[in-house]
Homo-oligomer: A and B are copies of this chain.
Amino acid sequence: MRPDDANIAGNVHGGTILKMIEEAGAIISTRHCNSQAGEPCVAALARVERTDFLSPMCIGEVANVSAEITYTSRHSVEVQVNVMSENILTGAKKLTNKATLWYVPLSLKNVNKVLEVPPMQYTRKEQEDEGKKRYEEQKLDRLETKQRNGDVIFPIINPDRQTKEPHTVGYSQSSLIHLVGPSDCTLLGFVHGGVTMKLMDEVAGIVAARHCKTNIVTASVDAINFHEKIKKGCVITISGRMTFTSNKSMEIEVFVDADPFVDEPRERYRAVSAFFTYVSLSKEGKPLPVPQLLTETEDEKRRFEEGKGRYLQTKAKRQAQMQQAAQQ
């Protein structure tokens, strides 16, 4: 990990880690999908499950990324990726991140054709059953998000940001545009999912820093669905706004909108959206209280309540897991 991978406090950006995770996932699933004779294909990222950043990684540490295929359906592959940080001076190793990704094989000759996935061998019957359950769950969630995303596109770039009060939604909201270059893309000419996630984390980080004006780090990312491909040469706008704050965390919603502007007749479209959770850290790395978000409009109040719902749900789930672990 190099200076450019990290913020000024030396913590590696969550987006850099997400990008490495996706790279490992894309390699292992493309390799698997081409393991039987047949039409050559490239695995495209369809979804990343909710993931927590368990411990920070620092400049000078070595990242060990390992990936394993854990389930295959007829048209998709589930990959489990683990990231360990290793301090090669002290030998200390820590689990930084566990992530689950879903890939779909697209034909190299016709990018709109989804190919069949060679079935994997399970060592135990339960593995297959559990995988099937996870597959059905994510399928349902993808369907729901697809319907929600279809609604409207609202560029949240706010011309009057300057006049906004600190701690309002308008004060911290941010956006950046990026021209998709050749090295951002796969062999099919579409943006790597990891490149998109890195940019999303960058915007979310700026929103969080503008809100609390301290050193901030990514704590978790909720499930992200990639419905629409983004082509080489597109301009993408990545926008972020704060939706919710608890005592020690901030939730930021991030949108990726693509302008297919030169050779395609279509309109701007929403390519991806997701919620990132950030925490604020003191110089010693201790969590700091977060200033409460001031909501002004009805929409902002509604989104705050929805964010609170997600926060409480995640908290309850975590407590249930801890109790379960304690009982075992």
Contacts and interface: CB of A to CB of B under 8 A. Distances in A.
Contacts of A239: 155-157
A89 B62 contact: no
Contacts of A106: 188
Nearest to A99: B221
Interface in A198-243: 198-203, 205-206, 209-210, 213-227, 229, 233, 235, 237, 239, 241
Contact of A206 (B8, B45, B62, B186): B62
A245 interface: no
Given A22-B194, A145-B273, A155-B237, 4 more contacts: A4-B183, A31-B62, A88-B206, A210-B259
A40 interface: yes
Contact of A262 (B53, B201, B214, B255): B214
A2 interface: yes
Interface string A178-208: 1101110011111011110111111101100
Q: What is the count of identical protomers in the complex?
A: 3
A15 B240 CA distance: 14
B262 A221 contact: no
Contact of A8 (B60, B146, B281): B60
B261 A213 contact: yes
A210 B22 CA distance: 26
Contacts of A119: none
A262 B3 contact: no
A175 B177 contact: yes
Nearest to A109: B263
A138 interface: yes
Contacts of A181: 182-183
Decide if the interface of chain A is mainly helix, strand, loop or mixed. mixed
A101 B226 CA distance: 11
A23 interface: yes
A146 B225 contact: yes
A123 interface: no
10 pairs of A and B residues whose beta carbons are closest in the complex: A14-B218, A15-B201, A22-B194, A45-B193, A15-B198, A19-B194, A3-B3, A3-B182, A18-B197, A182-B182
19 contacts: A7-B217, A14-B221, A15-B197, A15-B198, A20-B194, A21-B194, A22-B192, A26-B193, A31-B88, A31-B261, A34-B88, A34-B89, A47-B224, A47-B226, A48-B193, A53-B219, A91-B166, A176-B177, A209-B262
Nearest to A14: B218
Given A53-B218, A89-B40, A19 B173 contact: no
Interface string A26-39: 11001100110000
A149 interface: yes
